Amino acid sequence: MKTVMSGIQPTGDLHIGNYFGAVQNWVRLQETYRCYFCVVDYHSMTIPYEPAKLRENTWKMAFQLLACGIKPENLFIQSLVPEHAELAWILSCVASYGELTRMTQFKDKAEQLKEKDKDVLISAGLFTYPILQAADILIYHAHYVPVGKDQEQHLELSRNIAQRFNHQYGRDYFPLPEPLFTETPKILSPADPARKMSKSLGEKHYINLFGEEAHIRKQIRSAVTDTGDAPPGQMSPGVANLFEILRACGQIDAYNVLMADYHAGKLRYSQLKETVADALAALTTALRERLQHLEAEKKKVKAQLEASSAVIREFARKTLREVREIVGLTSLKA
């Protein structure tokens, strides 16, 4: 069985863009692959953050992933497997400084941070972030990594690191991980459909997957439809986004009927919105209920995740024992 690995930052709450674009796909991959999914709390330390909030958000994200259908045995918290950090150090001596300086995400993030606060500290961790990501992947000898296109360059770096490691130490130790760009719906901001749904844009720009139904309905009702910038005869991005959400919710029949109305020039946006809101309400209500069940057993669920992290850690330790041997570090006793 091939191995899949992916990670998600503990941003607080999952939004429907994360769900349709990534998490739903992860849930499906569990049927075919040995899966390692991880909440990457070490990665969240690369930009300014609050310690108490980080811990809270890490558990929050783990619970939400479970509610979405990630199996507890496939889920863990990155920092509960500290071997990731050790492998990242070793790989940082294989990665080149030059290739890291070409990472566009580092440049973008550093610029964004400086825009908000020109005196902000740009950490070395933000710069070496992709090496830690490579460690996340390689430590499990993963073959496939389901990620968005924005992670393509990081994946390429992971492959280069694996290849260089194998070459430098003269053996085929790490499989070269490949990105898995599954076609997933790209959900846009309801308030500004020119941009991808994202928490960093602000409250209006994302729909919380575990939000209150009334609030979700309100956000759909006030979603931007016509901005007047779509070329004549072409569907505006806001309307296309509503259709995309409907389809992502699995409402294919309603989608087809409304799409036919659109092409016949008789679609009422109010009706489209109503249908989308109903579809999202049905989906999110079920997810919210599952989350409530998990939260009612908080202690038990946390213990379960700690246990799965410990099992996964055993695998990571095995990799580290082998890697330490290969690279010439002194053997650890026990």
Residues that bind ligand TRP (CB under 6 A): 5-7, 9, 40, 43, 133, 136-137, 145, 147, 151, 154
Instruction: Please provide the size of the chain in residues.
Output: 334
Q: How far is the CB of 71 from ligand TRP (least distance, A)?
A: 18
For residue 206, the minimal CB distance to ligand TRP (Å) is: 15
Please, which contacts does 47-55 make with residues 24 or more away whose CB atoms are closer than 8 Å?
Answer: 47/109, 47/113, 47/123, 47/126, 48/113, 48/120, 48/121, 54/10
Task: For ligand TRP, give the closer residue by CB, 40 or 248.
Answer: 40
Q: Which of 149, 154, 107, 151 is nearest to 135 (CA)?
A: 154
Residue whose CB is nearest to ligand TRP in the complex, by number: 7
Is 199 annotated in the active site? yes
CA angle 144–149–152, rounded 5-degree value: 60
Please state the closest distance from residue 150 (CB atom) to ligand TRP, in A: 7
DSSP code, position 334: -
Instruction: Indicate the SS3 state at residue 300.
Output: helix
- Of the two residues 43 and 159, which places its CB atom closer to ligand TRP in the complex? 43
Which residues of the chain form beta strands (DSSP E)?
3-8, 34-39, 75-77, 144-146, 178-180
Residue with Cβ nearer ligand TRP (143 or 154): 154
Q: Which of 66, 54, 68 is nearest to 12 (CA)?
A: 54
266 is catalytic: no
Among candidate residues 109, 186, 204, 302, the one labeled active-site is 109
Closest CB to ligand TRP among 65 and 242?
65
Give whichever of 58 and 275 is closer to ligand TRP, judged by the CB atom. Answer: 58
Cβ of residue 282: shortest distance to ligand TRP, in angstroms? 28
Minimum separation from the CB atom of position 267 to ligand TRP (A): 35
Residue 109 among the catalytic residues: yes
289 vs 271: CA distance, rounded Å: 27
Q: Is residue 27 a contact partner of residue 70, using CB atoms and an 8 Å limit?
A: yes
Cα(309)–Cα(301) distance, rounded to whole angstroms? 12
The residues annotated as belonging to the active site are: 109, 196, 199
